[in-house]
Amino acid sequence: MGWLSDIITDAISRNIISSKKERAIEQQNKEILRRQEIILKNMGYKVEPYKEPTDYIGKGLILLGRTIIFLVCLLILLCIIALKVM
User: Which tens digits make up the pLDDT trace of 48-75?
Assistant: 776 766 777 777 888 888 999 999 999 9
- Pair (10, 46) in one structural domain: yes
- Pair (5, 45) in one structural domain: yes
- Pair (86, 59) in one structural domain: yes
Domain that holds residue 9: 1-52
- Pair (42, 81) in one structural domain: no
- Pair (34, 65) in one structural domain: no
**Residue of 16 and 27 predicted with greater confidence:** 27
- Pair (10, 21) in one structural domain: yes
Give the whole-number percent of the chain exceeding pLDDT 70: 80
Average pLDDT over residues 28-33: 88
Query: DSSP assignment of the chain, as one string?
Result: -HHHHHHHHHHHHHHHHHHHHHHHHHHHHHHHHHHHHHHHHHTT---PPP-PPP-HHHHHHHHHHHHHHHHHHHHHHHHHHHHHH-
